[in-house]
Amino acid sequence: MKYLHIRNAHLIDPAQELDETSDLYITDGRIAAIGHKPSEGTIDRTIDAQGQWLVPGFVDLSCYLNEPGYSQKGSIARDTHAAAKAGFTHICAQPRTRPVADSSAVIQQIVERSAQANAARVLPLGALTKGLQGEQLSNMVSLRNAGCIALSNARAPIKDSYVLRRLMEYAATYDIRLFITPLDTALAADGVMHEGPTSTRLGLAGIPETAETVALAQILLLAEQTGARVHISQISSARSADMVSDAKARGLKVSADVSLANLCFTARQVNGYNSRFHVEPPLRGEADRQALLAAVNRGELIICSNHRPHEIAAKKAPFAASEPGMSLYNCFLPLLLKLIKDDELDRNAAIKALSTLPAQTLGLDRVFREGAIFNATLINQTGASQSCSEEDLSSPLSEPLPGTASETFVDGQLVKWH
Amino acid sequence: MMSDPSQLQLAPNGELRHFLTTEGLSKELLESILTKASGFLDSKGDLIAKVPLLRGKSVVNLFFENSTRTRSTFELAATRLSADILNLDIQRSATSKGETLMDTLWNLEAMHADMFVVRHADSGAAHFIAEHVTPNVAIINAGDGRHAHPTQAMLDMLTIQRHKQGIEGKVVAIVGDILHSRVARSQIHALKTLGAAEVRVVGPATLLPKDIEDLGAKAYYDFSLALRDCDVVIMLRLQKERMQNALLPSESEFFRLYGLTSEKLALAKPDAIVMHPGPINRGVEIESAVADGPQSVILKQVGYGIAVRMAVMAMAMSGQRTNQAGPEAPQ
């Protein structure tokens, strides 16, 4: 038997509170041994991981891959590689494609492109309603059978609470996972950023916090009534974090995520009409950011990238006319490491929020133990990140900062960097 | 990178080279605009004859949003400065055909204009244009979304200065639809910088933007209370669509609560002046007896508007010249 030997890695696995320097032996894409050399076989290759973190592969519960349909913004090939460089092994792609991912054909196309790309694996999210129109239920069971790990509304409004109730009931019948973004579009009205002092100063229409919390209350109550398996996608406010906490405390099986942008930035970044920070959900106040960080540190909130890249023309416009979304994969690790370095995020809580917790939501195995398929990433904290350039107007950073994945293993396979 | 508007509008030597917002400009600079504008007025407050300050310069009125009144005053101001003026009413037509603002700008750059006067429905549009247009074109903001209308605010400052002998220490109330008003935002910044004792914004909660007090204004729901000790009362125009958007029940209820009548005005200081950026809705935000009464300076404001626009255009053009001549390239 031949082994891949990862030497002197700093192993961190929050699922079993593993936090030590050790060696790992891999064979046939599975973990053969941790700490000690297997009694039989020879070492085929050794990776010296001195000073690097070896963590369970990150699972992203939200990104926009723009394929099929929006090739000017990104592609599965490009963005799954960027995701792997950011430490992700599995990424959930929102169904906002053209055509919308509401049919088995589109899902199959996405799965095939992901296999060809051979980087982070795409776990497609199917559209919850036909055409993401919010009215007619999509063929939920067919979509699951075609490979959808869950169904999502991708911030498109669900017509009303009646439709929301019925789609939860139907999904609950077949135990289909739902990803729902809490957004009351009537309250959000024509808003383009967080309603607060910065929106007032800039004269930009604001999105009140209640546009999220009112919808969240509705989702939580209907989830309780219908027994649907609901994951709340991208909360942005302190109050939402409390509401999710309370729901969990009452025994409701819900999970929720926050996009990294909402942990790093606040509405003040929009000053100067900076369209790089035009995102959905909007960046909110400092108290919101602190509450979201605290929820991650308590182990109650998952971190997602909500990676949503755009071409230059989509961002080079007056703020309200620019398209919402931020390209996150290229700068994901530098931003995350900075939060850890600044003591805003606990390191192990952050890794848990990126691996153990989202894996639980999706029912994936993500524990370092002998016999498990190896999904992991080696993080080099000082290595230069992927290119974050001034020209990429959907990136929050205009220059590279330290932090990169030196190696990423997806389902036992080492990703080959381009 | 996106830059702060107040920095963007200044040349390295501190001169004005664009006029995008009153926010962040120094007291000295705002006062120099008022002094320059006063220089274009005679002792009776009428405009002096044509001056050759912008001879040979071309000014393009770039109006993405219709406004005959504002456009005309800029046109008159440019003419009185001896500039060549071109009016372009782009409105929504170009953009609805899929042309982005950047496309429009690239086309306009080919005209080699020296100054763009910009009116646009998006907040930050003038700022965006100033950032992306070739560096030696001066941008004057003639109103961007809800953000700023700095020349209107400065003509209001000139009006207060001339009729109330200065702005320092004055109590000013701005009444009505603050939420949608770019004029109110520009007025608040200018008044605070020029030393007004108190700036009050008055209206129902639906028309006062969240955290408006962060801008240094004091929010009032009660008009009578807000009028107490006021030196200046500025009434804003109320748009009809506010009723459809569930912001107000009716014009009549609004008038009952926030309409300026002679009885209400009597609660302010006896020598208080009444202003309005126009066009006025008689019987909606202001009673005719007040609009046409002795305390009203509404018509005077129009003449001052031309002088202020002349001052700002002349200063920005001069700032552009020093900017180009200077050793430092613009950012």
CA-nearest residue of chain A to B103? A313
Query: Are A79 and A8 found together in one domain?
Result: no
CA–CA gap between residue B57 and residue B83 (Å, rounded): 5
Lowest mean pLDDT among A388-397, B53-62, B152-161, B307-316: A388-397
Q: Do B23 and A201 make contact, defined as CB atoms within 8 angstroms?
A: yes
Same-domain pairing of A86 and A15: no
Q: Where are the domains of chain B?
A: 5-149+303-325, 150-300
Q: Amino acid identity, residue A348? A: N
Shortest alpha-carbon distance between residue A386 and chain B (Å): 20
A297 and chain B in contact, CB less than 8 A: no
pLDDT beyond 60 at B92: no
How far apart, in whole angstroms, are the C-alpha atoms of residue B202 and residue B173? Answer: 7
Tell me the CATH number for domain B150-300: 3.40.50.1370
Considering the domain architecture, whether residues A315 and A377 belong to the same structural domain is answered as: no
Interface predicted TM-score (ipTM)? 0.91
Question: Matching CATH topology for B5-149+303-325 and B150-300?
Answer: yes
Question: Could you read off the pLDDT of B141-181 as tens digits, one per residue?
Answer: 999 999 999 999 999 999 999 999 999 999 999 999 999 99
Q: Which of A272, A316, A321 is opposite residue B122, by nearest beta carbon? A: A321
Q: What's the predicted TM-score (pTM) here?
A: 0.94
Q: Mean pLDDT for chain B?
A: 91
Chain A residue whose CA is closest to B207: A200
Chain A partners within 8 Å of B127 (Cβ) = 272-273
Question: For residue B12, which phi and psi values (nearest 5 degrees)?
Answer: -55, -30
Please check whether residue B274 touches A, CB under 8 A. no
Q: What is the pLDDT of residue A368?
A: 96
What pLDDT is recorded for position A128?
A: 98
CA quadruple A140, A144, A150, A153: dihedral positive or negative? negative
Residue B225: count of CB within 10 angstroms of its CB: 11
How many Cβ atoms from other residues are within 10 Å of residue A181's Cβ? 23
Do residues A291 and A399 share a domain?
Answer: no
* Whole-angstrom distance, CA of residue A375 vs CA of residue A412: 6
A300 interfacial to chain B (CB closer than 8 Å): no
Pick from A200, A270, A316 the residue to mutate for testing the B interface (most B CBs within 10 Å): A200
Contact flag B211-A317 (C-beta cutoff 8 Å): no
Structure tokens at A382: 């000082």
For residue A88, give the CATH number of its domain: 3.20.20.140
Do A86 and A332 form a contact (C-beta atoms < 8 A)?
yes
Closest residue in chain A to residue B185, using alpha carbons only: A201
Dihedral, B250, B253, B257, B261 alpha carbons, nearest 10: 100
Nearest CA in chain B to A391: B1
In this structure, the strands spanning A206-207 and A193-194 are parallel
Shared domain check, A308 and A270: yes
Task: Compute the distance between CA of residue A323 and CA of residue A315 in angstroms, rounded to an integer.
Answer: 6
Q: Are both A334 and A349 inside the same structural domain?
A: yes
Put simply, the answer to whether B132 touches A316 (Cβ < 8 Å) is yes
> Does residue B279 have a cis peptide bond before it, meaning omega lies within 30 degrees of 0?
yes
Q: How confident is the model at residue B3 (pLDDT cuts 50, 70, 90)?
A: low
Number of domains in chain A: 2
Residue A317, chain B, CB below 8 Å: the answer is: yes
Question: Which tokens go with B228?
Answer: 């107490």
* Confidence grade of residue B1 (pLDDT, cut at 50, 70, 90): very low
Domain with residue A39: its CATH number is 2.30.40.10
Q: Are A319 and B210 a contacting pair at CB < 8 A?
A: no
Average pLDDT over residues B122-147: 93
Are A295 and A378 in a shared domain?
no
Distance CA B252, CA B257 (A): 9
Instruction: Name residues 192-211 of chain A within 8 A of B (Cβ).
Output: 195-197, 199-206, 208
Distance (Å, whole) CA B321 – CA B136:
8
Confidence of residue B245 (pLDDT cuts 50, 70, 90): confident
DSSP result, B192-246: HHTT-SEEEEES-GGGS-TTGGGGT-EEES-HHHHHTT-SEEEEPPPPTHHHHTT
Q: Are residues A102 and A7 in the same domain?
A: no
Q: What is the pLDDT of residue A104?
A: 97
Q: Give the separation between CA A361 and CA A384, rounded to whole angstroms.
A: 32
**Cross-chain Cβ contact A200/B127 below 8 Å:** no
Give how far A260 is from chain B: nearest CA, Å.
Answer: 21
* Residues facing A203 on adjacent strands: none
Contact between residue B235 and residue B184 where contact means Cβ atoms under 8 Å apart: no
Cβ separation of A320 and B1 shorter than 8 Å? no
Report pLDDT for A383. 83
Q: Report yes or no: B127 at the A interface, CB cutoff 8 Å.
A: yes
What pLDDT is attached to residue B2? 46
* Cα separations in angstroms, A171 against A105, A168, A229, A303, B119: 21, 5, 8, 25, 50
Tell me which chain B residue has its CA closest to the CA of residue A268.
B4
Give chain A's residues under pLDDT 70. Answer: 387-390
* pLDDT band at residue B330 under the 50/70/90 scheme: very low
- Residues B102-129 have a mean pLDDT of 90
Question: Which residues of chain B make contact with A276, given a CB cutoff of 8 A?
Answer: 2
How far is the C-alpha of B149 from the C-alpha of B135, rounded, in Å?
22
Residues 6+ apart with CB under 8 A from A142: A104
Residues A287 and A166 in one domain: yes
Nearest CA in chain A to B3: A272
CB-CB neighbors (< 8 A) of B147 in chain A: 202-204
Q: Which CATH superfamily is domain B5-149+303-325 in?
A: Aspartate/ornithine carbamoyltransferase (3.40.50.1370)
A165 in Cβ contact with A137 (< 8 Å):
no
Strand A302-304 and strand A255-259: the pairing is: parallel
Q: Which residue has the higher pLDDT, A71 or B109?
A: A71
Residue A139, CA atoms < 13 Å, CB-side half-sphere? 12
Q: How many CB atoms lie within 10 A of CB A210?
A: 16
Burial of B16 (0-12, 13-18, 19+ CB in 10 A): buried
pLDDT at site B89: 75
Among B155, B146, B128, residue whose Cα is nearest residue B212: B146
Q: Which domain holds residue A400?
A: 2-53+370-388+395-414
Q: What is the pLDDT of residues B262-296, one digit of tens each?
A: 999 999 999 999 999 988 999 999 999 999 999 99
Contact pairs from chain A to chain B, CB under 8 Å: 84
pLDDT tens per residue, range A332-372: 999 999 999 999 999 999 999 999 999 999 999 999 999 99
Least CB–CB distance from B101: residue in A200, A203, A317: A317
Q: How far apart are CA B181 and CA B184, in angstroms?
A: 5
Same domain? A147 vs A284? yes
d(CA A324, CA A308): 8
| Residue A407 neighbours by CB distance under 10 Å | 18
Tell whether A65 and A155 lie within a shared domain: yes
A41 and A94 part of one domain:
no
Within an 8 Å CB–CB cutoff, is residue B122 touching chain A? yes
User: Which chain A residue has its CA at the smallest distance from B183's CA?
Assistant: A203
**A87 and A55 Cβ atoms separated by less than 8 Å:** yes
